[in-house]
Amino acid sequence: MRQADPAATSSRLSMPVRPSRLRAGLRLGATLLRASLLTQLEYPADFSAGLAVAALLSASDVVTFGAILWRFHAIGGWGPGGVAVLYGLSMGGYALHRLFAGDLHSLSDYVRSGDFDGLLLRPWPPLFALICRSGRVGQFANLAVPAAALVWGCERLLATGALPAWGPAVLAGVLLCGTALQYAVAIATHAAAFWIVRADELSVLTVNAPNTAAQYPLTAFPGWLRDYLVGVVPVGLCVFYPVRFLIGRGGGWPDVLCAPAAAAVALAAALALWRHGERRYMGTGT
Amino acid sequence: MPAAPAERTRRRSCVSGVRLHLLAARNGYRRGLQYRAAHMVNNLASAVFGFVYIAVWRAALAGAPATSPRTVAHGSGATGLAARGPIAPVTVASGLTAPGPGIPGSPPTAHPAALGLTPGGMAHYIALAQCLMWLTTFLPYGLGVPAAVRTGQVVADLLRPAAFWPLQMAREAGAAAYSLLYRSLPMAAVFALAVGFPLPPSAGAAAAGTAAVALGVWNALCLNYLVGVSAFWTTEARAAHWLLQSLILSCGGGTIPLRAFPAALAAVLRWLPFASLLSTPVLAWTGSSVRPDLLVSAGWAAALGCLCTCLTAAARRRLEVQGG
C-alpha cells in the first residue's frame, strides 16, 4: 500500500496561484475539454442519440410537476411560473456543474481501481485534473429543459408583475451561486470515497434527492426535510429563498444574499474536506 | 417398470437445467448481498424521494378548490406525515399568495375527490411505488448483457448448456428476490412508520396485487433484456437504457397516478407496458385496479416474452466477438 506524500500534497495545495499558472491551467482545461468533445464526435450517431435521450430524461422531471400543475394549478400556493423557476434554478445549476465536472462523479472508480495514483503524479492538483477529464459535453442537453423552464417561468412572472424587471438578472446570479453550491456538494460527497471507497450511493442522498426536492416550494415540506435542505445540503438557500423574495412572497434581501454566502462557505468546506481526504488517500497497491 | 434410457436422459437433463437456473438465481441474490451497506444508504435516499413526493401531493391536494386546506390536512383521509408533523402552510385559500394563472390549456382546477385522490391515499400510493421501483425500475443496465458483449464474456454465456435468455432472467430473478428483501421491505417498514403502509382490503386484492407485482417484475426484466440484447447489434446500448428509464419514470405512474394525466393521455398510457411496472401493481394491491389492467399486464408479459425469445435467436446469428 502506498500513501500520498502528505508534505508534497500539502505544499502543492497551498502553493499560491500565480496569474501565469492560472492562465496555463485554463488553457490546459480548454484543450482537454476540446479533446473530449472531438473524441465524442468520433461516434456521431451515439453522440446524437445520447443528447436526445439526456434531454428526454430531464424532461421526465417536468412530467411530474407539469401534470400536477395542469390538474391542480398550484403546489403549496405556487403556480406554474414560480415552480418552473424553482425547477430551472435547481436543475440548471446541477446541469451546469455537470458540464464542467469531468470525472469528479467517478472518483469512487478511480479510488477503487487505484487510477487516482496517476492523478497524484501530474503537475496539477488532482481535483483540477479530475475535472478536466472526460468533459461531459452531452450535459448541454440536460441544460436545455431547465433553461427553457427558467425562461418560461420568468416570462410568466414578469407578465403578471410578480417578478420585477431586474429579477431575471438577480436570478442569473442566483443560478451561478447554485452551480457553485452543486460543485461544493459534489466535491464533498465524492471526497467521501477517500474513506469509504464507494461514495456513489451517497450521492443519491446528497445530490439527487435534494435537487429533486428543491424543484418544489420548501413550504410544502415537513420541518425535518426543510432543515435538511437548508442546514445539511443547503440547496434551499440557493433556490427557494431568493425566488420567494424576488416574487414578493416574503423574506428580504438577506434571503438573496444568503445564496452567495452559502455557496462560498460550502465550497470552502468541501475543498478543506477534499484536501483532508487526499492526504489520507492510500493506493490499492496494484 | 423402469423408465427407458432416453426418458431417463431427458429427465436428468431437465433436472440439471432446473439446478443450473436455481444456481444462477442464487448467484444473482448473492451478488446483491455484497453491497448491503451501500444499498441501505440508497434505501434512505429513496425514502427521502418518497417523502418529497408525498409532501408535494399533500400541498397540491390541499390547495385544490371546494375543500378547506386545514380540513384536508387534518381530515380522516390524511395519515402519517400530515397527522404527526407540522402542517405545511397552505396559503391559497387565504388568498395571501394567489398562484397566478394555470398552465395554458389546462382545465378548471380539479376536485381531488372526483379523481379519487386524497392526501392519505396518495401517501400510500407513493410509498408503494417507491418500494416497487427497486423491483421494476432500477434494474442493472441491460441486465449486464452489453458489458458481456463488449468484453466477449457473452461467448462463454452462449456456450453454457442452457438457453441464454432464461439463464439471464433466472440470475436477475435472484437479484430481484434480494431487492425485495433488502431494499423494498426495509423501505416499506420506514414508510409504515411514517405514513402507514396500505394492506390489501381483501384476499382477492392481495392475490391480484401479488400477481400484478410478479407480472411487473417479469415485464421489467424483459424490457431491460431487450435493451441489453440490442447491444449485439449496436455494441453500446446506454442511450436505449436511459430512454427506457425515462419512459418508465414518465409513463409508469411512479410519482403521479395515470388518472391525474389528461384523460386521453391516461387512456393511452394504461395500454403501454410501463403501466404494468408501477401503476397496475399499486392499484391492484390497494384494491382499486380494474381487471382489464391486469389483463393488459398479462398480455404484455406474453408479448415481451415472445419478443425476447425471437430477438435472442436473431442475436445468436448476429454475434461478432471483438478483439482477441
Partner-chain residue, chosen from A60, A70, A222, that has the shortest CB–CB distance to B250: A60
Contacts of B274 in chain A (CB under 8 A): none
Which residues 232-261 on chain A approach chain B with CB closer than 8 angstroms?
Answer: 249
Place of cell 492510500: A282
pLDDT-based confidence at residue B74 (cuts at 50, 70, 90): very low
Query: Domain of A106?
Result: 6-280
Residues of chain A neighbouring B48 (CB-CB closer than 8 A): 205, 209, 213, 225, 228
* B238 CB-contact burial (10 Å; exposed 0-12 / middle 13-18 / buried 19+): middle
Count of domains forming chain A: 1
Q: Which residue out of A47, A72, A219 would a mutagenesis test of the B interface target, given it has the greatest number of B Cβ atoms within 10 Å?
A: A72
A86, A240 contact by CB (below 8 A)? yes
Query: Which residue type, as a one-letter code, is found at position B33?
Result: L
Residue B21 falls within a domain, yes or no?
Answer: no
Q: Do A213 and B91 touch (CB under 8 A)?
A: no
What spatial distance separates the first Cα and last Cα of chain B, rounded to whole Å? Answer: 53
pLDDT bin (cut points 50, 70, 90) of residue B104 is low
Range of the domain at B194: 117-318
| CB-nearest partner of B88 from A76, A82, A212 | A76
Side chain identity at residue B19, one-letter code: R
Please state the domain count of chain B. Answer: 1
- Residues in contact with B37: Cβ distance below 8 Å, sequence separation at least 6, in sequence order: none
Tell me if chain B has a CB within 8 Å of the CB of A42: no
Worst-scoring range by mean pLDDT, B52-66, B89-103, B184-198, B237-251? B89-103
Residues contacting residue A74 through CB under 8 Å, at least 6 positions apart: B60, B63, B92, B99, B102
Give domain status of residue A155, yes or no. yes
Does some domain include residue A151? yes
Complex prediction ipTM: 0.83
Among B31, B49, B246, CA closest to B143: B31
Amino acid at A161: G
Out of A72, A160, A213, name the one closest to residue B52 (CB).
A213
- Asked whether residue A286 is assigned to any structural domain, the reply reads no
Tell me whether residue A1 is in a domain.
no
Residue A66 in domain:
yes
CB A85 within 8 A of CB A157: yes
Tell me, yes or no, whether B146 lies in a domain: yes
Residue A135: per-residue pLDDT: 61
Q: Which of residues 60-99 of A touch B (CB under 8 A)?
A: 60, 63-82
Cβ <8 Å between A80 and B100: yes
Give me the average pLDDT of each 10-residue run along chain A (286 residues).
Answer: 46 56 79 78 75 78 86 87 94 89 85 84 84 70 88 93 91 94 94 85 88 91 92 92 91 91 94 91 69
Beta-carbon count within 10 A of A133 CB: 18
Contacts of A217 in chain B (CB under 8 A): 59
Tell me the three-class secondary structure of A147-164, residue by residue: HHHHHHHHHHHHHCCCCC
Rounded CA-CA distance A22/A14 in Å is 14
- What is the per-residue pLDDT across B139-162, written as a single tens digit (0 to 9) for each? 988 898 888 888 888 888 888 878
3-state secondary structure chain A: CCECCHHHHHHHHHCCCCHHHHHHHHHHHHHHHHHHHHHHHCCHHHHHHHHHHHHHHHHHHHHHHHHHHHHHCCECCECHHHHHHHHHHHHHHHHHHHHCCCCHHHHHHHHHHCCHHHHHCCCCCHHHHHHHCCCCCCHHHHHHHHHHHHHHHHHHHHHCCCCCCCHHHHHHHHHHHHHHHHHHHHHHHHHCHHHHCCCHHHHHHHHHHHHHHCCCCHHHCCHHHHHHHHHHCCHHHHCHHHHHHHCCCCCCHHHHHHHHHHHHHHHHHHHHHHHHHHHHCECCCC
Note if the pTM is more than 0.80: yes
Q: What is the pLDDT of residue A36?
A: 75
Phi, psi of A67 (to 5 degrees): -70, -40
Kindly tell me if the per-residue pLDDT of B186 is higher than 50: yes
Residue A159 contacts B, CB cutoff 8 Å: no
Q: Is residue A257 part of a domain?
A: yes
User: In A, which residues are within 8 Å of B81 by CB distance?
Assistant: 222
DSSP, res B143 = G
Q: Which of A239, A249, A210, A220 is CA-nearest to residue A84?
A: A239
Give the integer Cα–Cα distance in Å for B280 and B171. Answer: 25
- Is residue B299 domain-resident? yes
Q: What is the DSSP string of B244-295?
A: HHHHHHHHS-SSS-GGGS-HHHHHHHHTSGGGGTTHHHHHHHTT---HHHHH
Chain A residue nearest residue B35, CA to CA:
A198
CA distance A27 to chain B (A): 32
Q: Residue A286: its pLDDT value, please?
A: 54
Q: Where are the beta strands (DSSP E) in B155-228?
A: none
